[in-house]
Amino acid sequence: MRLHSILIILVYSTLLISCTANRIVIIDSQPQGASIIADGKEIGKTPLKIEPDEVFPPRWIGGSYMVEGNLELKKPECDPVSMKVNDNVLSNDITRQLKCSNKQANQTGTPASTKDEKKLQMNENIAQRLENLNQLHEKGLVTDDEYKTQRQRILNEL
């Protein structure tokens, strides 16, 4: 009888987990327009919003019900980026800087910038993102924990 109760609890727990609202993750790259390949299948180009459970369906791995897969970003004239993904990685948006040749930089319509100009642009972008995040937090649209987490992610890009 006790084993029966445990099995019922396990089944209901699994059903409750699978019924939770799907989260959205944004996969992006710099420069944008890179092909996104999930477990060998192209799913779109950056930036792309995905529901992780649809792209990487959870399954039993060992004794745990979890997500595990491979994600690649590819763009002509750029080095491909490959990463392993799991529940932890897919709990946040994914943004990767692609290393591209000068030919790719010129094809994007902007001249190849010096390192100082790129760093200044990146710092201005980070400052703007921090300001936007702060405004959302002040309006109560972002919780304290979300604010701290997102702020740290932005600052880690420096």
Span between the terminal Cα atoms of the chain, in Å = 58
* Counted domains in the chain: 2
Whether residues 60 and 86 share a domain: the answer is: yes
Whether residues 9 and 77 share a domain: the answer is: yes
pTM equals 0.53
Whether residues 15 and 53 share a domain: the answer is: yes
Whether residues 68 and 83 share a domain: the answer is: yes
- CA distance linking residue 11 with residue 5, whole number of Å: 10
Query: Which residues in 120-153 are b (16+ Cβ under 10 Å) and which e?
Result: eeeeeeeeebeeebeeebeeeebeeeebeebbee
Whether residues 91 and 105 share a domain: the answer is: yes
Contact (CB, 8 A) for 65 and 56: no
Query: Which tokens sit at 138?
Result: 């002040």
Whether residues 146 and 126 share a domain: the answer is: yes
Q: What is the pLDDT along the chain (158 residues), one digit of tens a residue?
A: 676 667 677 666 665 555 445 688 999 999 999 999 999 999 999 999 999 888 988 888 888 888 889 999 999 999 999 999 988 888 889 999 999 987 544 444 445 456 666 666 677 788 888 888 888 889 888 899 988 988 888 888 76
Domain limits for position 141: 113-158
Whether residues 24 and 71 share a domain: the answer is: yes
At which of 73, 91, 111 does a domain end?
Answer: 111
- CA distance linking residue 11 with residue 74, whole number of Å: 40
Whether residues 67 and 128 share a domain: the answer is: no
Q: Is the peptide bond before 31 cis (omega within 30 degrees of 0)?
A: yes
Contact (CB, 8 A) for 22 and 90: no
Whether residues 98 and 123 share a domain: the answer is: no
CA-wise closest residue to 69 among 131, 110, 61, 20: 61
At which of 111, 134, 149 does a domain end?
Answer: 111
Confidence at residue 127, expressed as pLDDT on a 0 to 100 scale? 81
CA-wise closest residue to 124 among 78, 88, 158: 158
At which of 111, 131, 149 does a domain end?
Answer: 111
Q: What are phi and psi of 156, to 5 degrees?
A: -65, -15
For residue 104, how far is the Cα from the chain centroid?
23
